Each structure stands twice: as C-alpha cells, then as structure tokens.
Structure 1
Amino acid sequence: MTSSHTWNFFRAGGFDQVQIDNGADLLALKELDQKLWVALSCPTRGIEFDTHTLDLIDQDRDAHVHANEILGAIAWAGRLLKNPDLLVNGSDHLALADIDDSTEEGQHVLASAQYILKSLGKSHAAEISLADMADIDKFVAGLEFNGDGVIHPSQVGDASLRATIEDIIKCRGSVLDAGGEAGINQEISDAFFSEVAAYSDWLVRGDDDAHVQFLDEKTQAAADAFHAVKDKVNDYFTRCQLAAYDARAAAPLSRSTEDYEHIAAQNLSAQNPDIANFPLATVEPNKPLPLHTGINPAWQSQIEALREQVIVPVFGEKEVLLPSEWVELRAKFAAFEAWQAAKPACSAEKLGNARLREIARSGHKEAIDRLISQDKAVENEVKAIRSVEQLLRYHRDLFKLVNNFVSFRSFYTRRDKALFQLGTLYLDSRSCDLCVRVDDIAKHAEFANMSGLYLAYCECVRKGGAEKMSIAAAFTDGDSDFLMVGRNGIFYDRKGQDWDATIVRILDHPISIRQAFWSPYKKLIKFINEQLEKLAAARAAAADEKLLKAAAESVKPVAEGAPPPTAPKPPFDVGKFAGIFAAIGLALGAIGGVFASIVSGLLGLRIWEIPLAIIGLMLLISGPAMIVAWFKLKKRTLGPILDANGWAINARARINIPFGKTLTQVAYLPEGSHRSQVDPYADQKPVWPYYVLVAGIVAALIALWYMGIFGERPS
C-alpha cells in the first residue's frame, strides 16, 4: 500500500515501529499498511484504559477494539476539530473555538456543548471538560424528550393517558429509556393498539349479532355453565337413547351393582372421581334429565348452574329437561361458539371488555404516537450531546491508545506503562513491571508458554479476600533459585492499591545468562548436598536401629543372681579390614591422581597461563548452558502472553536481554549508602579451610621450586 505521508519509524524489540507524533500522523494511519501495526485487536476489559472510551470505539459491541474501529474514531474526531494536533495533547479540556463548525455535525456538537455549559450555569465558559459531562446521563434523563423514542408514564400529565400507558406496560412489557425508567416505544404501542383494535372489532361483531348474544350481557356466563356440562348431558341423553333402542341396555348403562360395591368401602364425597364417572341420572328409555332430584351428587352444582343461567332464562321454570330442549339449547350456543372460535389473541384481554372498549374509543394511540414522534424529533440534538462527551474522550485518550496499539511506544520507551501492564509485583528482592491480568490461569498458561518468558502466576487478594484477581508476572532478571509455588509477595496495581500475591503456578524458562553460568555448579552442589543428606540420614537410621536393638537386648530376663551376659567380642577380621583399607586407599588414590593431574597440568603452564586455563575450564563447564540460555533469551516474545488475553498481536515483539533487565529490577543499595560490615550474628567460619589453603600454597611453592620455576632445582 502506497502512502503520500512521510513516516518515521523507531526500532525497538527487534522490529520497526511507526512513530506517531502529531495529528497528521494520526489522520494518515488509514494509509499505513496494517502489516506494520503491532496489534490489530485488543479487548475492552482487563487492560488499564478507560472502559467507557473503549466502548465508544467498539462500534460492533463485541468487547474488542479492532484496527478499523481505531481508524473510524480518528477520522470522526479529526472531522470535528479544526486542528488534529489537538488529539496529541491528551487533555480532558477542549476549547469551544477548537470545534470545527463548518459542517452540520460540527454545528450540532458546538451547539450542544454550549447548551450543556448554559445548563450548568457556565454560559460564558470558553471551554468544556469531561468533568462537565460527569452527570451526562442524568442531564439527558432530565430532558422532557431525550431522543430515545421511549415514553414513560411519569412524563405524561394526562391521568387517563398515563393509565393507558401503564396498562400497555402491564400487558406488553416495557423498555428502559435513557434515564433507566420503564416505558414504551413505537413497536410496543403499535402491537398493543393493533391487538386492542382487533379484539374490539370482534366484540362489536358479537354485540351486533342477536344469535350470538341471545342472553345479552348474561350470555357469557350462560355459555360457561352450558359448556361445563355439555359433554356430560350429551352422554346422558345418548345412554337413554340406547335404552330406548334396547331395554336390556338400561341396567348396565346405569352402572352395575359391582360398580357400587367397588366404591362402597371408600370414604365417599361429592368430589369423588369414581362417582363423577357415573351417569348424570339413572338411565331409562327416552327419559328427560331431572333438574332437581335424582342427579348424580358429583354434578349437582353444575346442573343447578345450568338450570339457573340457561334453562330458566330460555324456557322458564322446569322440573326436567327434554331431549328436544337440549338440542335447541345446543343450536342456540352454536353461533356463540363460532364467534368465540374467531376470537383474536389479545394480551390485553385481562383488562376486561369494558376497559378495552374504553381504550379503543379513547384516541390514546394518536396521543402516544405524537409523544413518541416529539421524542424522536430531538434525537439528533441528544446524539450531539452524547457526541460532546465522545469528542472529549477521544481528545484525551486516542493518542495514548494508538501508541499502545499501532506501536508499543509506551512499552518499549519505558516512559509510561503500557495498557496491558497491570502494576508491579514485589517478590524475592525484585520488582516485576510486566504483569498482566489473567482470567483463566490454565488456559492462559497453555498459550503463554510459547513466549519463552519465566512467568509466575499469582492469585492476588485484598480487603480480606473480598477482592480477588489473578496475574501473570514475568521475571526477566536475576535467578529462579527461590521462586516456587506458595511464595508470597505484594502486588501494587496502577492505582497504588496493594494486594497480597501468592505464586500458584510457574512457567519455567531461563531468566538470565548469569543464572545459566552458575547453574552447573549449583546443580553439582545441590547433588552433593542431597547425597550427603541421604548418607547422613542413612547413618542416623542405622545408629537409631543399633540403639533400639541394644535397648531391647538390655531388657531380656536374667537368671536371679547371675551376672548379665556379655556379648562375645568378635575376633579381629584382618581380611575384612584389609579390604576396607584397600578400598579407601584406591578412592583416595583416584581422587589424588585426578587432583595431581590437574595440579601438574596447571604447574606445567606459565604463571600468566594459569588464570586463562581456569577461566577456560569454567567456560567448558558453563558454556553449553550459557549458549542454550542465550538462544532462548533472544527468542523471548511478548505476543503469546497478550494473545492469550484476547489481543491480536501482529508483530514479533521481542524482549531481549537488555530490555528484559529494565522490566525486572534487582535490589541494590541506594547510591551513597554507608554499609557496616560488622554482623554480630554472622556464622562462625571454621579455621581449618585456611590451614588447608596455606598448606596448599606452601605445597605449590615447593612444587614450583622443584620444577625450577624459581631457579635451579636442588640435586
């Protein structure tokens, strides 16, 4: 991708990074090949940056800020400022004169800024700040209309209209307006009134049809009573018709004696389901349905309701219901049932027919539509108010974000902490500045292991465990001798708050060349110590066993008056001790031979060659470990640590040895300090090593004299 802009690059971390210094650099970023960007995406949480600003940049609301969203934010802010260099200042104040009002959008933003200042009693102020926007949500919520298209009951003065809005919320639910109050929008209003209109039309069709409402307002109650027994009455008359067809069917259709015997042992009541399954009355050929006596007890109340609400209003007082009359009743209710089947679904049905008819005639739909339209009419003005806050945040934060995204200038120049640096961990006489937040230690460690960095995962708590978080701290200088799971330290976050930190997991990698140099000797010393400890433990165990055995022997019963038996003294085994002495002699001879070979080899050199030989021997031992460590330290990279946290790192951001030393500081005494060498509790050093050293020097001098180094050797 070609660019008309002249770019400056600086080299850090083993790669070239773009240097962004002014507004022209920011506006030209859209021309810079994104292959040269250090990062292409970063999370909106878990980093040390204003989350509100990140949310404003994150247009697709996926909790990540992408390269194109950065470019969009820069372009938008650049259009609204007369001088794009203002974006470099990082200030939370903006002069009104710096807002570019040559465009319609700029005019809206400037007018909104002036309106906000006027509302705060600062009508003559020449600049606006983020502090002025601290209560922007309350400010917007306090407006009569805030452009969100939501109307809530409290902003409606008319009691009748307010009651309708409350009914809509009760039936159709609500949405929150900009101030957090529950209200309705156009979609909810349209759905509610559409249902009410359809339901009201259905009610009118029923009112206008005399065959439907044949009992006027009592028709619904009558229909309920009719349908409660419809199937049971049909069953009864069908049984009577069967009995008329064949008289033999009357007895079994009325239930047998065995059926009554089956329920006879039960504790019976009218609610017994077995009784309810019996016919309404005894079955006889063409028998009418009795309405007062001879009714199945389980159905007595339902038949009484049918008589009062249906039969009496239609036929008058009757003792029985004839089959023909039942057919007539079914015909009357057929039209009602067809009308009921056509009833539209309506969430507002629970309000009752009278209230629904009232709402349908009220004209409240048009009133609510007008209120919503008035609210939406100020949408641009309110957006402009929001845009004032957005512009102020971009004015303060964009330059810092770009220098932690397009390049890692803040991180590699060490002038400021990077966005991903959570704070500083103090542990093992060191401070670690490369500490990142970790949500899932196991998942993070799986990928971060490829970084080649020595990482200590710590669980941090404060306020007695009320607040918790996990971090990964990189140790890039010193050694790992005393770094282990369970060690405690103190972590200071970017706000200066202290957290108790405990190492819970370690990713072991080389830390420094110095550590690699001494590692063979430390391993040898560790091996010798382990062997000596094992030997001492074995000797102690043998001594304990011998003591216990002797104690056991001493408590054996002894004959009264007899002296205690004494163990026979074993004869001196010359062969055994000769073998032991021979083995010791061979071992000492071998050690002496090796030592003599080394000494003779050194003594065969010139004096100035001896130090070189010693240095060469040490390099021969430590060299391989140092070379391996050097290659690993050169390959250390920041990318996997951040990628494991949701970043998309585009460059091979290396952490070489010199830069690593700046990320971990080892403890040093302050310059100009006075140090006393007197330690009253220092360990008492044994004297014999000095005697051995003096004897060795004397022996070496004698050997040199015999070799003629100091002159002619004596005969």
Structure 2
Amino acid sequence: MHFERYGRTYQLHIRTADDLAQVLGLDDALWMATSAPISGLNCDAEFLALVDLDHNGRIRADEMRTAIAWLLAGLADRSRLAEGTDELALSAIDDSRLASQRLRETAEYILRTIGSASEGSISVAQIEGFREGLDSCPINGDGVITPDAPGDEDTQRFIWDVMSCFEAQEDLTGRAGITQETLDRFLAAAAAHLAWRARTELPPGADVSDLMPLGERTPAAYRALQAVRQKVEGFYARCRVVRFNARAAERIGIGAHEVHQADLSNPAAIDAALARAPLAEPNADGILPLDDSVNPVFRDAVREFRTAAAEPMLGREVPTLSRQEWERVKSTLTPYGDWLAAKEGGEVERLGADRLRECLEGPYARAVRGMLAADREVAERLGQARELKKLLLYHQHLLRLANNFVSFPELYAPARRAMFEMGALVIDGRWFEFAVKVEDRQRHAELARTSGMFVIYAELTRVDEADKMTVAAPVTSGTKGNLCVGKRGIFYDTHGRHYDARVVEVIENPVSFREALVSPFVRLGRFVAGKIEAVSGSAEKQVEAQLGKVTQGVQAGIQEAVQRAPAAGEQAAQESAAAAASRASASRRDLLIGASVSVAALSSAFAFVTSALSDLTPLDVLYGLLIIAVVVCVPTAIVAAFKLRRRDLSALLEGCGWAVNGRMRLDRVQRLQFTRRPTYPVGATGTPRKRWLEALVALLLLALIAAACALVALQAAAAF
C-alpha cells in the first residue's frame, strides 16, 4: 500500500488493479471522501446508477467496496484495468465461478448473434447493438407475444381472440400482445365456461331435466318469467292488502293516484304513469288475469309469459293465474336461474362454445406457450447481457471513480479534470479552471465562507436548455479585479459546450499575499479620502451658507427700497438703498471674517506641522515612517499568510453534498493552475510590457520593512 502527497494531503496511490484491491482494506478515515452525490459527477450515468446500490442518488464507501470486490472477482486478467477501455477480452473473464462462466457464455452468444463469433473480445457497443436488434424482434425477452409473432394465421387469430377477451399488454416497441398470465387466464376461463354450459346438456334420450324443465325452451321460459316477475309479485302483494281491507282497493288499484295525476295530453306521461301502475286490478281472491285486461304497457310481456312459461309448465291453458300456480312456475325454473346466476367464464362467452372448444383442443395454446418459453430464454440472456455490460462499465470507469473518491490525483493533474469538475469559466480576462455544480446556492455559500477563499457563483444558461445551472469557482491567484455581481462571461463544460455566464453572488476573501498586504493601505486611503471629502464638503457648505446670507441681504434691501419709493419719494429710496448697502457690507464683512478664520486655522495647523518636522532630522522622519510601515505591514503580512495558508478547497465540495475527510489546502502550483491569466502569443507585437514598476515598488516596500526591523533591533540592543 503506497501513499502519495497531493497538495498538502497524503492519498492512496491507485494506478493498477492491485492498488484498487488495496482500497478494500483501507480505513474509511483515510479516504478523501466517504460519500458523494451522483449529480455532481461527470461520468457515465448508467455506471453511477449501478454503483449506487440503494438508488438514493449518492455513492458511499461501502458501495464502492462492493463494486470493487465484484469487479475483481469477475476478472481473470486485470492488466488492462488502468486503460479504462470499454472493451474486454473473453479470456479476461474469470470462468472458474459459475456466475462469471455465464457471463462468458453470454458474451459468446452475443458475438454469434451479431455475426462476430471470430472476435476474441466484446465491447459495450456490441452489447447495445445486440439489445437494439432484439427490441425489433417479436421474441425480445419482454414477456409479451404479439399477433405477428407466430407464422401461421390460425395462431395469430388465437392471439387476437385472447386479446378481445382480456386487456392486451404492450411490448417494448409499444405493440399490443398477450403474456403468460393472460394466456393462462383465457384458457382457465374457456374451460370453466364450457364446463358451466355443459350442465345444461340433456342426458341421452331425455327431453328435459331438473335444470332444463322445458328442454331447449327453458331459456325462453325463464326470460319470459323474469320480464314480469316484479310486476306479478307486486300484484299479489296488493291482493293481500285488499283481502285484509277491501276499502283499500281504490287506493292501490289500476286507477291509482299516478294515473289520475298524469297529463292526459302527453302520451309519454301516460305511458310512464301506466308503467308505475299495478299489472291488473287487485282482488281479494288473488287471481291474475292473463288476457287483454291487464295493464296495456305489460300486455305483450304477460302474453309471452303465458305461452312460453305458464301453460307449458302447468300443462293446460291458463287464462288466469293463482298465487299457488305462480309459485309453482317460479320453483320449477329456479334451478335454471341459479345456474344462470353462477355463470363462469363470462369474459370469453362472446367467442361461443364452438370457438372455445377449438381454442382449447387445437395446437394454438401450445404454440404460444412455446413462444413464451423462448421469450423467457431471451429475457434470461438479456439479464446476463446486463450483467456483462455492468462488468464492462466497471472495467472502464471504476478505477477512475476510485481516483475521484478514495483519492483525488486528477484534481492535481493540470492535463486532466476530476469527475466533480464541471468545466472552466472565462471572465474578467482570466480563466477559472475549477468549477463545481451547485444545487442549493444558499447552503453552499454557508460552507464556502468557511473555506477562506474568494468564491464567485455564476448562473449558466443556454438557448437549447430550459433549466439554469449554477457553478461555484474559487479565485486562487492574482487579485479580485473587476469581479462583482452582474459581471458576465462564458463557461465551457467538460464536453466542450459553452454557456452564457453571469455572476450572481460573490464571497470575498483575500486572493493573494500581495492583495492582503496592500489592503490596509487601501482601506487607509479610502478612510483619508473620505475624511477629506467630509471636511471639504463641510467647508463648502459653510461658504455656500455665507454667500446665501449675503445674497438674501442684498435682495431684501432692494425689495424694501422698491416698496418705499412710491410713498416716501426719492429720499426714502436713498435711505433704503443706503441701508441695503450697509447690510450687504456687513454680510461681506462676516464672510471675510469667516474666511480669515479658516485660513488662520489652516496656517496654524501647517505651522505646527512645520515646527514639529523642523525639530526632526531626516533620519528621524524616515525612521518614523518605517516604524509606521512595520506596525501596519508586519501584522497584516502574518495574518495574510495564515489566511492564505488555511484556504480549503474541500469546503466547496462539502457545500455540494460531499463527505470529505481530508483538508484540501492549496499549494502554489494549484493556485496558479485554478486561476490563470493567459499569456500573449510568442512573437506578438504591441503587447503590454512586464510590470517592472509594480515589482520594484513591492521590493522597495519589503526593503523598508526589513530596514525598519533592523533599526528597531539595533535600538533595542543599544538600550539594553
């Protein structure tokens, strides 16, 4: 087990299959990450879904171990694992295990099916081609047999008949067909229906039976009985009331309230009233006439009942029907009614008994069962093909995923991009090479503030994509520049697609040592400029106030003179003008006095400063300036050094939902790698010169600080 230092962390070296096997025994606390969201990884989506065993959208350390163990167990030759290829030699599959042996057999079967049996390796593209070819076949492993699957018309008709009785199922291509369950239901319903119908068959040599008291005429008799059953029962109930109370006959008889209240000009209303009226006039004897004296609405139904049921059952002409005779007719037909109510296989009744017998006795069901069995074999092959594809995807991506989960070497390789990098942002004349996808900007910003880094959040948009995406990019070198909310740029993702980018949030922190060192002076300059502006603004307001008073005095005097002129004459006007002139003179005097006081104050301050400086030698002045520089710059430099050293890239990943163990401190190489300003082409003319002046100023400042420190040390030594 070998570790390497990347940045300021020590991470497991994972380059070969043997290194990958070491991950299985590595303590979780030594992993760079123990959990990560799938949405933030630039990798094959199907592969990531396979590693995510519980399908919660995250990959954990235990799921990584399971994936690594499964991959290594399925390979006999692991030498090409580091290549990350989606092609695998058949000889590389370990066929000493039953599961792996099936994978190899499936690979050979796929190669034979697609006409590449001579090849000794298989690829993901070949597996996909095999599956796409099956999708267009009737037997494609989806468990559905469509009518066009069999070659003969009789079997096709059989499938159509099944689909007419039961709900059809769709196959992978959207075509309707039947499944094993549908076939079994149809055959069971057909057998049950035929058995149910067989109960009505008459014994040999017999014309009637208990179930069929009138033989073939029994169904018609039962239908006639059912047509008048409710009305006949209502008639006998009314007869019982009349027998109990004869005066009730008028209220419940044929001339009842419904008929009397009917609109006699409306035939439909009359028919509706008669339909609600009794079958016949109730009587105490309980005798139902079966002639034309019955309710005209039910006259035809009564006549059919008499000829089809009552007279055949009673064996004589039946002009009237007593209650006892009615019960006898009902009881005779009750077995048939019970049989009818217990109907079985009603779903297939529409096909008829003859067609159902043909379906059960013919070879059609057997043919469809054979096709379903073949379809199950294909489904099993497809399942093995999915496992084989899983092996190839693991062979292609798992080692790289480990190098973006267990270790992060790709993050520190300038020529490569880590899986969690989304692309590069070009803005403010610089390239920001490190960017991560942000799902929740507010939550991410809370963690990003703990990183000590200057972070910009950019909203990305494309014309062909409705959804917006947000990325976070750290500024790791140079200065803040013109980066601010609203600044626009362009973003290139890892697939080469470009997006319009707009800065929507900025988290400010020192970007470089130079920026941190000059920040106190920048703040001091802003403070002094603010004070000067405040003082000058105050003086300007005072002058404006004095000028306002002078102007108002002059205007008041002139107004007063104009008003008095008509009344007092020329003398009053002269007096008024003289008074105005006097007031104006007083205002000018006040203004001159105020200005004199201001000049005197400034002169006194200047004289004090000059007097103080005249008592100092040039060396004392230089020494004082150096002391000030030391007091300001040294603490600032120390604080800046600590802040810049504590910058942590892991906080940006944690804001995206990662569980990161190691602190990802930035070194000089990374700082220049993640934020860079491009150089002009070699040999180009008219380009800016190198910034010697800035470098010279920085060197002089450092020299002053060093000299001040030396002077302080010498004086301290002399005093001691």
State the TM-score bracket (shorter-chain normalisation). 0.7 to 0.9
83-92 vs 215-224, which moves further? 215-224
Q: Identify if the C-alpha distance between structure 1 residues 574 and 147 changes in structure 2 by more than 3 Å, giving closer, same or farther.
A: closer
**1:612 corresponding residue in structure 2:** 626
Q: Take 2:178 and 2:601, find their aligned partners in 1: how far apart are those partners?
A: 97
Aligned with 1:641 (options 655, 669, 678): 655
Q: Residue 93 of structure 1: which of 76, 87, 92 is its match?
A: 87
Match of 1:235 in 2: 234
Q: Which residue of 1 aligns with 2:473?
A: 474
Q: Which residue of 1 aligns with 2:710?
A: none
- Residues 639 and 651 of structure 1 are in contact (CA less than 8 Å); yes or no, is this contact kept in structure 2? no
Measured in 2, the distance between the counterparts of 1:142 and 1:480 equals: 59
Q: Does 1:12 align with 2:6?
A: yes
Give, in whole Å, the separation in 2 of the partners of 1:77 and 1:630.
42
Is 1:314 the equivalent of 2:309? yes
- Note if contact 1:94-1:127 (Cα within 8 Å) is conserved in structure 2: yes
Amino acid at match of 2:407: S
The match for 2:25 among 10, 28, 31 is 31
What is residue 699 of structure 1 aligned with on the other side?
Answer: none
Q: Which is further off, 573-582 or 79-88?
A: 573-582
Corresponding residue number in structure 1 for 2:64: 70
The 3 A distance-change label for structure 1 pair 403 and 192 is: farther
Shift of 1:334: 3.3
The counterpart of 1:652, out of the listed 662, 668, 693, is 662
Measure the CA separation in 1 of the matches of 2:606 and 2:37.
66
**Structure 2 residue 148 is matched with structure 1 residue 154:** yes
Q: Is the 8 A contact 2:437 2:472 kept in 1?
A: no
Residue 661 (str. 1) matches residue 671 (str. 2) = yes
Other-structure match for 1:52: 46
Mapped partners of 1:440, 1:600: distance in 2? 63
Contact 1:479 1:512 in 2 (8 A): yes
- The one-letter code matched in structure 2 to 1:27 is A
- The superposition leaves residues 377-434 of structure 1 with CA deviations (integer Å, 9 ceiling, x where unpaired) of 4565544444443333333222212211222221233441111212112222332233
Q: Which position in structure 1 is the counterpart of 2:327?
A: 327
Q: Which amino acid aligns with 1:315?
A: A
> What TM-score results when the alignment is normalised by the length of structure 2?
0.73
Distance in 1 between the 2:613 and 2:305 partners? 128
Render the CA deviation track for 1:451-508: whole Å, top value 9, x for unaligned: 565544433222x354433122222335556444433221111111111123344555
Change (3 A) 1:257 1:292: closer
* CA deviation after TM superposition for structure 1 residue 205, in Å: 4.1
Q: Structure 1 residues 600, 326: CA separation in 2 closer, same or farther (over 3 Å shift)? A: farther
Cα distance change of structure 1 residues 342 and 17 upon mapping to structure 2, 3 Å threshold: farther
Change (3 A) 1:101 1:319: same
Distance 1:655 1:307, change over 3 A: farther
Match among 676, 680, 697 for residue 670 of structure 1: 680
- Look up the match of 1:428: 428
Distance 2:121 2:93 in 1: 10
Residues 454, 475 of structure 1: 8 Å contact kept: yes
SS at match of 2:499: strand
Question: Is contact 2:288–2:321 with CA below 8 Å preserved after alignment?
Answer: yes
Q: Provide the rounded CA distance (Å) in 2 between the counterparts of 1:121 and 1:210.
A: 68
1:272 CA drift (Å): 8.9
Larger radius of gyration: 2
Structure 1 position 239, deviation (Å): 2.1
**Which TM-score applies when normalising by structure 1?**
0.73
Q: Which residue of 2 aligns with 1:4?
A: none
Aligned to 1:695: none
Which residue of 2 is the match for residue 682 of structure 1?
Answer: none
Query: Identity of aligned pairs, percent?
Result: 28
Structure 1 stretch displaced more, 510-519 or 561-570: 561-570
The 8 Å contact of residues 638 and 653 in structure 1, kept in 2 or not, is answered as no
Residues 120-129 or 260-269, more deviating: 260-269
Closer, same or farther in 2 for the Cα pair 1:235/1:503, shift >3 Å? farther
Shift of residue 138, structure 1, vs aligned partner = 1.9
Partner residue in 2 for 1:248: 247
Secondary structure, aligned partner of 1:474: strand
- CA distance, structure 1, for counterparts of residue 221 and residue 481 of structure 2: 92
In structure 2, distance between residues paired with 1:605 and 1:181: 98
- Matched residues in 2 for 1:267 and 1:594: separation? 123
Check the 8 A contact 1:454/1:510 in 2, yes or no: yes
Q: Distance in 2 between matches of 1:529 and 1:205?
A: 111
Instruction: Indicate how the Cα distance of structure 1 residues 71 and 181 shifts in structure 2: closer, same or farther if over 3 A, else same.
Output: farther
Aligned to 2:76: 82
Tell me how far apart the structure 1 counterparts of residues 686 and 384 of structure 2 sit (CA, whole Å). Answer: 65
CA shift for structure 1 position 613: 2.9
Listed one character per residue, the Cα deviations across residues 157-194 of structure 1 (whole Å, up to 9, x for unaligned) are 24343344445456555666567755544444444544
Q: Which runs of 5+ in 2 are unaligned?
A: 203-207, 312-316, 690-720
How many angstroms apart in 1 are the aligned matches of 2:381 and 2:521? 74
Moved more, 280-289 or 28-37: 280-289
The within-5 A match list for 1:402-417 is 402-417=402-417
- In structure 2, the partner of 1:495 is 495
The DSSP-based 3-state class of the residue aligned with 1:243 is helix
In 2, Cα distance between the equivalents of 1:517 and 1:193?
89
The residue matched to 1:434 in structure 2 has which SS? coil
Stretch deviating more after TM superposition (521-530 or 50-59): 521-530
* Counterpart for residue 697 of structure 1: none
Letter in 1 for 2:436: V
**CA RMSD across the alignment:** 5.1
Deviation readout 1:6-29 (Å, 9 max, x if unpaired): x11123354332111211122333
Per-residue displacement from partner, 1:172-219 (whole Å, max 9, x unpaired)? 556665677555444444445445444544444455795555677886
Please tell me the residue identity of whatever aligns with 1:34: D
How far 1:137 moved relative to its partner? 1.5
Structure 1 residue matching 2:18: 3-state secondary structure:
helix
Provide, for residues 550-607 of structure 1, a one-character-per-residue CA deviation record: whole Å limited to 9, x for no partner: 9xx9xx9x99x99999995644248964885488469747975997799689967457
**How many Å apart are 1:87 and its aligned residue?**
0.9
Instruction: Give the structure with the higher percent helix.
Output: 2
Work out the CA distance in 2 between the residues paired with 1:657 and 1:319. Answer: 116
SS in 2 for 1:154: coil
Alpha-carbon distance in 2 for matches of 1:517, 1:600: 32
Secondary structure of the equivalent of 1:10? strand
Aligned-pair CA distance for 1:246: 1.0
- AA aligned opposite 2:469: S
Following the alignment from structure 2 to structure 1, what is the Cα–Cα distance between the partners of residues 15 and 223? Answer: 82
Which letter maps to 1:312?
T
Q: Which amino acid aligns with 2:309?
A: V
Query: Over residues 635-658 of structure 1, what are the superposed CA-to-partner deviations in whole Å (9 max), with x where a residue is unaligned?
Result: 862442331xxx4x2413424364
Amino acid aligned to 2:626:
L
1:149, distance to aligned residue in structure 2 (A): 4.9
Q: By how many angstroms is 1:353 displaced?
A: 6.4
Residue pairs, 1:116-195, within 5 angstroms: 116-141=110-135, 149-168=143-162, 173=167, 183-195=177-189
Name the CA distance, whole Å, in 1 between partners of 2:464 and 2:601.
Answer: 59
Distance 1:425 1:588 in 2: 53
Change (3 A) 1:580 1:290: farther
User: In 2, distance between residues paired with 1:423 and 1:227?
Assistant: 81
In the aligned structure 1, how far is the partner of 2:273 from the partner of 2:339? 35
